[in-house]
Amino acid sequence: MNLISKEILVKGLVQGVGFRPFIYRLAHANNLLGTVENNNLGVRIVIQGKENDIINFIEVLPSSIPEASHINQLEVKTINPNKFSDFSIIKSKSLSQEVTEVSPDIAVCINCLEDMEKQSNRINYAFTNCTNCGPRFTIIKDLPYDRPKTTMAPFIMCNECQQEYSNILDRRFHAQPVACSNCGPHYKLIYKDKEFQKIEDILIITSKLIQENKILAIKGLGGFHLACNPFDNETVKKLRLKKNREGKPLALMFSNIKEVQKYLYVNEEEKRLLEDWRRPIVLLKTKEQISEQLSLGLDKLGIMLPYMPFHYLLFKKLKIPALVLTSGNLSDEPIIIDNDVAIKSLDIIADASIIYNREIHNRTDDSVAFVANNKSRIIRRSRSYAPSPIHTNFNTEGIFAAGAELVNCFGIGKGSQIILSQHIGDLKNMETFEFYKESIQRFSNLFRFKPDMVVSDLHPEYLSSKYSDSLNIKSIKVQHHHAHIASCMVENNLDEKVIGISLDGTGYGTDGNIWGGEILVCNLEDFERFNHFEYIKQPGGDAANHHPWRMLLSYLIHYFGSSFINENKNLFDDINNDEISLVSTMIEKDLNCPLTSSAGRLFDAVSALLGVCKNSTYHAEAPMRLEALARKSNTKSKYTFKIDQDISFKSCFEEMIVDLKNNREVSDIAKAFHNTIIDLTKEVSLLIRSKYSINKVALSGGSFQNKILLENCENTLKESGFEVFSQSDIPSNDGGIALGQIAIAAKLRELGRL
């Protein structure tokens, strides 16, 4: 008999996701012999058998891969190996192997959901999982990824589970968290000093409580959630108030996609993203049916689909199609993971708690994404995304990146990979800073990482920078907006000179001023600040972030003088007169008024000018409201600006004020302002192209979370013949800074410039 042998190289997301057992089973089903192993590039398969079987194997492979895996490339070549006597999984010889073994958490799969209806030891068992699904990063304490090194360690497998675990042909072969109702963890409901242990009771009581408009604390995958009925305005309001989150919309979980579509607009890519195994919260445009109490003046709401077995079980009982499901924490603190802490501290918010007896080791928040120009854009990278590595063409080994401050996320370099931490949060919050330091320790242990170089933000006051300085190892500082653009470049595999347009709220500049409307000409190793938004005084420094009207006042005084304010008091009609004169004095006498070129502050000022948001209750509220308002308009009109030594918006403000006086629709003014910024990115890019012949534009910075801005900047620049790069898998906000920091440090080291 004539045996044929082939070598198949599979690249993509293929490690730590049950890929090798899958290949084993597929080979077995096709009567093939050979081997499968992980290597640095992905998975290497050698198969030997009859021609038809081999053809079938190669044909079936791509369409039946485990859900959490993804194939980027599949190379097949004919080889001439020895004869095999069986098909086996062989241990990899490569050193960096251990790095890629930490898989992110995976939403429960269809097969497991079916098992929960059919398998006698898994009927309604809420911890059902297999090699294709279940908890990973959240339960792992150390490598190699084996059960004793996870928080499943205290649970001894029963015989049935053990059999599945050891049978290579079983879907649960080597599924470390494998469990059933006889041997695994269990939920418990605590309500008014009573405890309920039976899952059926828990589900009935829980759904009853939610329908009775109670608030519940529910232990999730990466931390606690607070849940309530989204269709009762009073309850939603109460939860928001108690959570100290008055102005900000809360995320919802819907029972299924059909229900989502009744309340929100969902396009194809958004649907794909909602149903992705990572199950992020997806920002979707609301339909009329969504109450104002949920959307709070914005036109978007964060929506997710069930991802834990418990979610599915609960929706089977619930008579409402959605739940508010927001992170279980008090205002800015990290999400709570500990049962006792949750019961104690969420007590003031929740009427009942649902806990389970498996520990969460690594805290993760729900990840958040939106879709722009048909591409998903992650803006909070946590559950099910971290700690997936980012592959680079550099040697990143030993580089620790401290990240930024407000939306912190740190990173480590391993081999040629960069591993970003899960979303950490605002380091100014003490508990969050503790979480930061603890996570750095955990990453160091988990990934056998010892830093020999640390890279941090130029900002001397960032806690992440101070922490880096305290490490007493070789340290380099990177300018914030250079890091933003570098982050975008690494994600897009760029290592050359580009036009970098970095628009955001705050970043420390090389001149000590607050930057944020930055037009750079840069590569990874260096940047030139080609131009920037005009410097404006930021009265009170950071305090101005909460009071957009202060920036309006500052812009108006800067361009038109103090007398203009007296003649146009109506622009500040809901602001106290004393406050106006106090802040005016600060501006005139230059007291505590750092200079800023921030794009975020410009959006703040315009938002205040249009009466959209004069005081903000949460980060970026004013620009978000301005964007929502602009979406109501289709106007193509735009205002003027002047590109000179810097970029001046004087004429833009003049024209907006005339429009306001002529009672032009504010939505049209908001949109025209957006169009102005979009036009500006094009004009300045054209200038750079004519001067430097650079045709690639990288867009990054928190302002590109603005969908109007991102989509239209991309489109307009493309129409002008530019190649445009933006962020998708990595946040364009400060959560992406660590990636850029490592890339810059790695490049400088490669060039011998450190």
Q: How far is the CB of 732 from Fe ion (least distance, A)?
A: 9
Query: Minimum distance from CB of 458 to Fe ion (Å)?
Result: 12
What is the DSSP secondary-structure string of 79-145?
A: ---PPPSSEEE-----TTHHHHT-PPPBPPPHHHHHHHHH-GGGTT-TT--BTTBB--GGGB-SSS-
| Number of chain residues interacting with Fe ion (CB under 5 A) | 2
Helices 650-661 and 548-560 cross at an angle (nearest 10°) of 110
Please, what is the angle between helix 621-630 and helix 599-609, to 10°?
60
Q: How far is the CB of 480 from Fe ion (least distance, A)?
A: 6
List the beta strands (DSSP E) in 232-309: 252-254, 264-265, 281-286, 300-304
Least distance in angstroms from the C-beta of 728 to Fe ion: 17
- Nearest CB to Fe ion, comparing residues 432 and 675: 432
- The entry of Zn ion, Fe ion, none near residue 183 (CB within 5 to 8 angstroms by kind) is Zn ion
461 Cβ contact partners less than 8 Å away, ≥ 6 residues apart: none
734: partner contacted, choices Fe ion, Zn ion, none (Cβ within 5-8 A by kind): Fe ion
Give the residues lining the site for Zn ion (CB under 5 A). 109, 112, 130, 132-133, 158, 161, 180, 182-183
Least separation in angstroms between residue 260's CB and Zn ion is 23
Identify the CA nearest to 322 among candidates 266, 243, 234, 260.
Answer: 260
Tell me whether residue 273 or residue 404 sits nearer to Fe ion (CB atom).
404
Q: Does residue 627 belong to the site contacting Fe ion (CB under 5 A)?
A: no
Residue 133 or 748: the one with the smaller Cβ distance to Zn ion is: 133
Instruction: Report 490-529 residues binding Fe ion (CB under 5 A).
Output: 504
Q: Which of 34, 734, 743, 745 binds Fe ion (CB under 5 A)?
A: 734
Which of Fe ion, Zn ion, none sits in contact with 39, Cβ below 5 to 8 A by type? Answer: none
Query: Do the Cβ atoms of 323 and 304 come closer than 8 Å?
Result: no
Copy the structure tokens of residue 51. 């021609």
User: From the list Fe ion, Zn ion, none, which binds 130 (C-beta under 5 to 8 Å, kind-based)?
Assistant: Zn ion
CB of 20 or CB of 377, closer to Zn ion: 20
* First and final C-alpha spacing in the chain: 61
**Is the alpha carbon torsion for 244, 408, 300, 629 positive or negative?**
positive
With CB atoms as reference, the residue minimizing the distance to Fe ion is 504
Stretch binding Fe ion (CB under 5 A), from 254-262, 341-349, 354-362, 733-741: 733-741
Best CA proximity match to 505, nearest among 209, 362, 694, 704: 704
**Cα separation of 713 and 722, whole Å?**
11
Q: Answer with the entry of Fe ion, Zn ion, none that 504 interacts with (C-beta below 5 to 8 A by kind).
A: Fe ion
User: In angstroms, what is the minimal distance from the CB of 598 to Fe ion?
Assistant: 10
Q: Which does 133 bind (CB under 5 to 8 A by kind): Fe ion, Zn ion, none?
A: Zn ion
- Using the minimum distance from each CB to Zn ion, give the nearer residue, 145 or 725: 145
Kindly state the smallest distance separating residue 700's Cβ from Fe ion, in Å. Answer: 8
Q: Tell me the C-alpha to C-alpha distance, in Å, between residue 130 and each of 17, 18, 71, 280.
A: 10, 9, 20, 21
Q: Quick one: 170 or 668, whose CB is closer to Zn ion? A: 170
- Rounded to 10°, the helix 599-609/666-692 angle is 150
Q: Which is nearer to Fe ion, 328 or 623 (CB)?
A: 623
Looking at beta carbons only, is 553 or 743 nearer to Fe ion?
743
To the nearest whole angstrom, how small is the minimum distance from the Cβ of residue 178 to Zn ion?
7
DSSP H stretches of helix in 264-307: 268-275, 292-295
Which option in Fe ion, Zn ion, none does residue 161 bind, with CB closer than 5 to 8 A by kind? Zn ion
Residue 341: name the closest of 278, 435, 445, 260 by CA: 435
Residues 6 or more apart whose CB falls under 8 angstroms from that of 614 comprise 547, 548, 549, 552, 572, 574, 575, 608
For residue 368, what are the β-bridge partners?
281, 380
Tokens of 445: 């242990």
Shortest Cβ 742–Fe ion spacing (Å)? 16
Taking the least distance from each CB to Zn ion, the nearer of 41 and 158 is: 158
Q: Which residues bind Fe ion (CB under 5 A)?
A: 504, 734
